Structure 1
């Protein structure tokens, strides 16, 4: 049994471990709950902002309608004097048409006495015509202040809605009547049903009148005072609806104003996060109830993780403490043994004869001075005979009674142990001789020995000053077992690390391989999609030249515009694929910025003018270092987005100096971008909902901008204020004007008449492209004897059939364009001019065209570009004198 003194440290350790575990679990549980509550509260606030914007935008769509109708002379005349039946019907029809156009609930014209004289629902049994509304707040407010607003249940229709009113005045400013519009907001409740949270809207009395959950509608969030009750009766705001109480228990108030509540009526189980946001100018409050049950789970997970970490730390601490204690015990034992040996040596030097005589007279040779040591100790004299030992030595080796005697040669002890196999393998005499020789040499030694029963002994031997030897035997079995377990644990951990590293490396390789497959798939898919698109654009171009009717040409233009838009989307997808795979090459050099920005301003200025916008460009003399084509792509995307999302106002393009850099900025007066969405708009297929539906892009422009910026190491930035506009900018280094290359010489004037009678071969594996190209070229006056795939072209090639121009596709099934061209040239005996037409626009393909002095066009081909390039190649061949 353990003594109380030994049990006390164990109890303290257990108490500290369990107490610390409880404390850590409690603290981690609370921290996990607070962290999860903070995250959910922030998310709920952001969601609440979106709901508030949607509600405000829906009301703002109709806010200007009463103001416009109040200025209508016909409506003003209708309430200025009594109306006859014909006038009343005309006004009713007009309000009916306006209501059908705006898709509101009702439009009602009310005279100065509060009587409805005309309404858009005049045909229905629940018509407002002839009803009195002078008790309604929106009528009273419009009469007194010029305009009003009010939410309530219609006294005629029994349908709830939001009323906006405007006073109708005569030229002198006197109020003649009121025009009111009713908006049904129930469609918002249907949209809220798709959300997992409960959304509520309450009025200034605390009455819930809009809710995504029907059981919440017409609940009282706080008791009504007598004045509020009388006001509700007078205005008949919620007539026919029983206002039911609401019961809840507040559990916690968060730093951002949110609450954690327990809902009693209507009954909701668990805890709920309640966020509120006041809606300006209406007195309404928007509420969001979010299920907070996940907070408890997050707290439990944090508590479990913290508990496991605490137990791990305790285990490591106990292990280190055990090692420290074992080390200290060994050092203390060694020190005590050395001190004991010194004392014995001194006694042997001064009283050797007396010590030997007393030892010879003893029956057992046990030394009381050695009994307190935990090690087994044995002392021999210079003649290698036993002098003294302790009982621990006898117990360790289980010597029989009478074996250990004072004066017995140590050789007898060795021989007894050798017969039991304790001296190891090999001849017994050799093992005994080695040990005796070591004792005679007087050299200290230390070694470990393992017995048959698994006991591990640490053996230390030290010589005595006047001859003799003292040897200690310490049982270190537990220490060795612990070390062995630790090595096993370390080996297992190392093996797991190796396995995890291999798994991660395999996952990385698989991800890289998947990315390569994706890049190849996108390039191949875009190539295949561009084939029919290229044919379609050529067919449309050929068709438009044959159309005489202006309306038919307009339809053809629209088709060509749609194909161009599709071309832009596919080109954007291909650009993103190249940017992600790192195959897009850059050509960075110094150049003047003004020509690039001036051209963009003129191009986008016409588009902005068509939208009723003004685009201003501030000229610059800056010289920058970048890739002109890629930089043009970035700024063009900035301007395109500004035109698309700006409803009115202007757009400004200009530059600012920023130290040793130039920042190109595009300012607009659009609706602005919320801060929580400013990062996501640079992701693929993400776009705002504020653009005109017909002009929304595919959501790829800013994604390409962000990737090109990273490729060129140019910083792309955004500043935006809701309701005021946005500023997109890119910062790039200044360039050296002295390093700008000289402008190339003017190209010779092109003569389209060279195309008439020109013999052209079209080699492409897509029959639609071949047919469309033949149709287009023949309309230009060219002769196209061959418009077919590579096999048909090779079969028809002969020395006398060589054309003047070859339109050659790069990829045709298993064949490549350059290989087909080489075979055709061998059969023709001459090499005509070549235009390489392909959907692959990488640097290697363009380099191939330059090395062979070929023309290059990217699919889908624009007919004007094809015609210009063909004319230029024919003119160049004529100037060089080639046949």
Structure 2
């Protein structure tokens, strides 16, 4: 069938409409796609907004927690600082208390030791002499305990300032060995010092105390064999070893022996344990000197304590040897100024047993009155540093020195170990003796000064 011409192809107007419709569909599709993309972007932005809001809340919460923690830490730090200051103040107060208490305790102890020594010089029978010896040993233990407690307190408070100088190690160890050899021989032990004579850099008094404690401890806990003090040169350092053949220290106790009042299971001399302070003071002194201290021990075989000390390139000063005690000070005029009556009485009795002429006063006024009454000037002065009403014993020496034609020998006694007092006495040219006064030391010093 043949279509009419107008039905064979679309009319121009219809074709135009179809193209417009197609174009509108494309535009609509593009708009729909754009809208969909915009919706997706808005949905993502909203999600991001929600996430950011949530994170902000978490950050705010964590910040508040951290701020609170910082405030608590600040308060804790402030409390710790306050507690530290309080502890340091308490430690300093303890040191001052022990210093004052030790001075008051050493005064009657000084009088007791002088009296015990005077008693022993009276020619007692064997039983009385044995009792006198026991009294002397008991007083020595009390003195050592008081001084050790004071030393520990000073070291803990940082009061002790080591004075490092060259020390003749051989001479120091020879003196220690001479002091302890009778105790070793009494127990049937050998005490030997071996090694080169070196000069080391240390505080002589603190080093002596350390080595004395180590040797004493070794002898105390050794029943057979002996004790060896060995000096080993190691480059620019010196290793001082104290070896014994004693009972040894169990591994579980080796970390505890340096604690205060730790005595362990071993018994010391006479079947009695020590006070448990020797190694404690040794550790503190070694730390103050920066001298490493090592311990090695085997149960049943013995113990080795080793102290490492730097070698000194400067030779030590030669000490002036003290004169041997060979006289009884017969006829020597000795002036004693002491404000503690028991100490003054004990010292007077002791000096009289040595055949000295003794004049005792308690202050400068009494000395001045005695001189005004025609009393002769003394040959030697023994003066207590602390007198009544804040007076100083050196004032008596100054008063008498102005009237003497030559320099008067002066011995100053005190229970105060202050460096200022020591410097003042040394500047005056006097001899300082700390209380309790050891009678043998005093007699040797008197003999030396009066020779």
- Shorter-chain TM range is 0.7 to 0.9
Partner of 1:725: 302
Q: Distance in 1 between matches of 2:147 and 2:345?
A: 24
Map Cα deviations across residues 512-545 of structure 1 (whole Å, 9 max, x no partner).
1011011112212221111111000111111222
2:116 corresponding residue in structure 1? 540
Cα 1:370–1:475 change in 2 (3 A) is: farther
Q: Map of 1:506-655 to 2, 5 A cutoff? A: 506-655=82-231
- Structure 1: unaligned runs, 5 residues or longer: 1-366, 378-391, 393-472, 876-883
Q: TM-score, normalised by structure 2?
A: 0.79
2:372 is aligned, of 800, 815, 821, to 800
Q: How far apart are residue 370 of structure 1 and its match?
A: 5.3
Deviations, residues 474-506 of structure 1 (Å, cap 9, x unaligned): 997666655544443343223222211111110
1:81-480 to structure 2, matched below 5 A, reads: none
Partner of 1:778: 352
- Structure-1 residue corresponding to 2:32: none
Offset, 1:817: 2.5
1:393-450 alpha-carbon deviations (Å, 9 max, x no partner): xxxxxxxxxxxxxxxxxxxxxxxxxxxxxxxxxxxxxxxxxxxxxxxxxxxxxxxxxx
Compute the RMSD of aligned alpha carbons.
3.5
Alignment of 1:603-752 (within 5 A): 603-691=179-267, 692-694=269-271, 696-736=273-313, 739-744=314-319, 752=327
SS at match of 1:740: coil
Query: What number of residue pairs does the alignment pair up?
Result: 409
- Higher relative contact order (Cα pairs below 8 Å, separated by 6+ residues): 2
Relative to structure 1, the CA distance from residue 654 to residue 553 in structure 2 (aligned partners, 3 Å threshold; closer, same or farther) is same
**Does the residue aligned with 2:145 lie in a helix, a strand or coil?**
helix
- 2:22 matched residue in structure 1: none
**C-alpha distance in 1 between matches for 2:399 and 2:311:** 51
Question: Which protein is richer in helix relative to its size?
Answer: 2
Q: Secondary structure at the match of 1:837?
A: strand
**Separation in structure 2 between the aligned mates of residue 672 and residue 482 of structure 1, nearest angstrom:** 63
SS of 1:680's equivalent in the other structure is coil
Q: Is the 8 A contact 1:810 1:838 kept in 2?
A: yes
Query: Does the 8 Å CA contact 2:199/2:316 hold for their aligned counterparts?
Result: no
Tell me: CA distance 1:507–1:374, structure 2 relative to 1, closer, same or farther (3 Å): farther
CA distance in structure 2 between the partners assigned to 1:506 and 1:754 by the alignment:
59
Aligned to 2:121, the other structure's residue is in SS state helix
Question: Cα–Cα, structure 1 residues 585 and 872, in superposed 2: closer, same or farther, change >3 Å?
Answer: farther
1:797 Cα deviation (Å)? 3.3
Task: Give 1:639 shift.
Answer: 1.9
Verify: 1:762 aligned to 2:337, yes or no. yes
Deviation of 1:507 after TM superposition, in Å, equals 0.8
Q: Which residue number in structure 2 is paired with residue 21 of structure 1? A: none
Q: Shift of the alpha carbon at 1:658?
A: 3.4
Conservation of the 8 A alpha-carbon contact between 1:646 and 1:669: yes
Contact kept, 8 Å, 2:397 with 2:410, in 1: the verdict is: no
Q: What is the TM-score when the length of structure 1 is the normalising length?
A: 0.42
* Deviation sequence 1:820-841 (CA, Å, 0-9, x none): x438856996486542211222
- Secondary structure, aligned partner of 1:508: helix
Q: Deviations over 1:726-766 (max 9, x none)?
A: 11211222233xx21452555678885666251413222x3
Q: Is the 8 A contact 2:206 2:285 kept in 1?
A: yes
5+ unaligned residues in a row in structure 2: which ranges? 1-34
Tell me how far 1:703 sits from its aligned partner. Answer: 0.9
